[in-house]
Amino acid sequence: METKRRLFVLIAPPAIVLALFFLAPLVIMLLYSFKDNTFGPLLPLTFKHYITFLQTPSFFRLLLDSSKLSFLTAIISIILAYPVAYFLVFYTGARRVILLTLLILPAWTSFLLRVLAWKVILGSNGLLNQTLIGLGLIQEGAPVLLYSQSAVLITLVYVWIPFAALPLFAAMERIDPRLHEAAQDLGASPGQTFWRVTLPLTMPGVASAFFFVFIPTLGEWVTPTLVGGVTGIMYGNLIQDQFARALNWPLGALLSLVLLVLVAAFSYVFNRFIPITEVPVST
């Protein structure tokens, strides 16, 4: 009985916080999706916003395009961050923590400033255009990539690479180095050691890195607003417009719930069908 009481005392505070700041907002958002309009009463409940969503193909296309862009951002971020984390863990020795800190240092600055920096780089008088002019490839500056999905992809990858590197670094650091020594003693080449030992054991880090990047970027709206233009908008821009411009909070709540359900379903499928083994911890 005493043990149960202590367990309740330990669990009660975080459970209350979770209920107040996570579950309660979700319930409120769900109820809002059934309201007739933003400022009207809750009752009577209506399904008109659900009907509007189902009858608007552009919503589905934008959600699909945003999912593809977020997926591509996550994959590219992992591909670029993996060799960096590999080098830091296996080739830098005691300096790995310092170098990792330098890697994530840009993430300590303002997110908005970093996005605006890429807007300048990709702009008419930016670094990219000046380089192309210097090489003689173009005669005058023009926003070659700015205000497009390519600009959004480049900016998102730059912003989220450090967040992809952190779980990869943690997974690699936990690998027992004796496993590499055993593989070499058995005649495995460096390539075989990587493909048959290192990569499988870092899959938990790869999965974590994927979700670290995919989930936040799927609802991104600041980056597409600044560097995406009309052709680079994402699903998050649609939600933001419903709340801030159209003042259609019920439809915005519904669009947010759809995004939440999509992320939850994707997470379940990923964890259910992609086996992830535990990483042997070095001693």
Confidence (pLDDT) at 281: 47
Listed in sequence order, the residues at least 6 apart from 44 whose beta carbon sits closer than 8 Å to its beta carbon are: 36
Q: Which domains does the chain have, with CATH numbers?
A: 58-273 (1.10.3720.10)
> How high is the mean pLDDT in each 10-residue block of the chain (283 residues)?
77 86 88 84 84 91 93 95 91 83 81 84 75 68 74 91 90 86 83 87 89 90 87 89 88 91 83 56 47
Confidence (pLDDT) at 138: 66
Q: State both tokens at 98.
A: 């310092």
207 neighbors 274 (Cβ within 8 angstroms): yes
Confidence (pLDDT) at 283: 46
Confidence (pLDDT) at 156: 93
- Positive or negative torsion for Cα 140, 146, 150, 155: positive
Confidence (pLDDT) at 74: 94
The residues that bridge with 175 in the sheet, in sequence order, are: 281
189 neighbors 229 (Cβ within 8 angstroms): no
Q: Can you give the pTM of this predicted structure?
A: 0.84
